[in-house]
């Protein structure tokens, strides 16, 4: 409510321009007959294009991500039949950069002037990246929970076969689940205040401890790797990879059998350290004949993205062999 005697602010065109600029809004106009698109300077900047008087919709749509192009064309063609306001989100390509754009306007020719429709573009890249991050996190958490349940089930089955009594089974299973909990803690991001994460060998030993000493003999897992520190940034990524490999071995590989063994070793070639994961004594393994699951994608993303390395699988007759080629400096950071 205005104070007594105060007059409402009189909006001027320059005030509107300042407000639009402050909001990061790009203005556009589309002639539905000629197919000409005009935009303000912010619009051409948003699309990464040099200023010009007008562009055709086809010229503009050439910069839309191929996966979204047909959908956006159909959406704009249908806007004249849409009742009320509409909003369409899509990706555009600016060199190798991908931006998310929201196009907003009024449908059913509402506000059309001289056969021209008006609307705005907004850069919603930050919002979309946040949404994708949340979806990825939700998928990762769902995957981890399913894996933990599968591991717990496998641990229970193996413990029941080797325990002499229900008391022994309860004790052994509790110890293994506790060790699994300690290992799972390493898969979570570390607080910045914790300093260096761990030695490479210790990281493997802690993560693999829940699966050792529960077969036909103790010490079926052997870790012999170079003594080097793993940095905070690399620790979570590497722990996630080890956890995923161990989970798969527990479900399908050597660790699913009482007589199965696992050998982890390392070799160095200048700036690259290679970690070799060798499974023996398990069931026959075969290369998957379908698209990689979420866990495999997670491993590849961690190895190539966070650790700057690569991963090789050898589905040999004796058992799975996995080789991780990691950048030493990235591993220590």
Per-residue pLDDT reduced to its tens digit, 290-314: 655 656 766 777 788 778 889 998 9
Structure tokens at 16: 């509107």
**Pick the residue with more confidence: 75 or 228?**
228
Burial call 42-70: b when 16+ CB within 10 Å, e when fewer: bbbebbebeeeeebebeebbebbbeebbe
Q: What number does CATH give the domain 13-123?
A: 3.30.450.20
Calculate the average pLDDT of the chain: 76
- Contact at 8 Å (CB) between 197 and 159? no
Helix (H, G, I), strand (E, B) or coil at 229: strand
Domain definitions of the chain by residue range? 13-123, 178-332
pLDDT above 50 for 269: yes
Q: Calculate mean pLDDT across residues 281-293.
A: 75
| pTM score | 0.49
Structure tokens at 174: 């509790």
pLDDT of residue 179: 58
Which range has highest mean pLDDT (101-110, 125-134, 285-294)?
A: 125-134
- Residue among 248, 311, 218, 322 at smallest CA distance from 278: 322
Q: Calculate mean pLDDT across residues 167-183.
A: 67
Per-residue pLDDT reduced to its tens digit, 48-69: 888 888 788 788 888 889 888 8
Angle (CA) 311-202-157 rounded to 5° is 80
Q: What is the DSSP string of 83-121?
A: -SEEEEEEEEEETTEEEEEEEEEE-TTTT-BTTEEEEEE
- Name the pLDDT band for 195 (thresholds 50, 70, 90): very low
Per-residue pLDDT reduced to its tens digit, 29-47: 877 777 788 888 888 888 8
- Name the pLDDT band for 275 (thresholds 50, 70, 90): very high
Per CATH, which fold does 178-332 belong to? Heat Shock Protein 90 (3.30.565)
pLDDT of residue 270: 81
d(CA 48, CA 187): 40
- Name the pLDDT band for 193 (thresholds 50, 70, 90): very low
User: Nearest 5°: phi and psi at 137?
Assistant: -65, -40
Q: Calculate mean pLDDT across residues 85-95.
A: 82
Q: Calculate mean pLDDT across residues 245-257.
A: 85
pLDDT of residue 280: 93
């Amino acid at each position: 409510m205005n104070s007594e005697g105060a007059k409402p602010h009189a909006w001027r065109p320059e005030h509107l321009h300042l407000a639009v600029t402050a909001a990061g809004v790009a203005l556009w106009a589309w002639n539905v007959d000629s197919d000409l698109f005009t935009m303000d300077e912010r619009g051409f900047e948003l699309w990464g294009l040099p200023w010009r008087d007008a562009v055709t919709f086809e010229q503009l749509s050439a910069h839309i991500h191929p996966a979204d192009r047909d959908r956006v064309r159909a959406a704009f063609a249908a806007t004249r039949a849409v009742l009320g306001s509409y909003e369409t989100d899509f990706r555009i390509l600016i060199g190798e950069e991908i931006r998310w754009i929201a196009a907003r306007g009024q449908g059913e020719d509402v506000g059309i002037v001289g056969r021209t429709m008006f609307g705005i573009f907004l850069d919603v890249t930050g919002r979309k990246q946040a949404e994708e991050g949340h979806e990825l996190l939700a998928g990762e958490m769902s995957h981890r929970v399913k894996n933990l349940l599968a591991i717990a089930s496998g641990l229970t089955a193996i413990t029941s076969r080797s325990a002499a009594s229900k008391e022994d089974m309860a004790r052994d299973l509790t110890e293994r689940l506790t060790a699994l909990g300690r290992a799972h803690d390493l898969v979570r991001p570390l607080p910045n205040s914790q300093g260096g994460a761990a030695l490479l060998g210790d990281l493997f030993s802690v993560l693999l401890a829940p699966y050792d000493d529960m077969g036909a003999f103790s010490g079926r897992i052997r870790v012999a790797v170079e003594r080097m520190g793993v940095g905070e940034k690399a620790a979570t990524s590497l722990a996630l990879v080890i956890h995923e490999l161990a989970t798969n071995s527990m479900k399908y590989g050597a660790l699913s059998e009482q007589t199965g063994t696992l050998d982890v070793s390392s070799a160095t070639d200048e700036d690259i350290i290679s970690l070799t994961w060798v499974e023996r004594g398990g069931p026959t393994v075969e290369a998957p004949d379908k698209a990689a699951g979420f866990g495999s994608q997670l491993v590849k993303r961690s190895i190539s993205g966070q650790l700057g390395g690569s991963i090789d699988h050898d589905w040999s007759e004796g058992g799975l062999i996995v080789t991780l080629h990691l950048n030493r400096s990235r591993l220590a950071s």
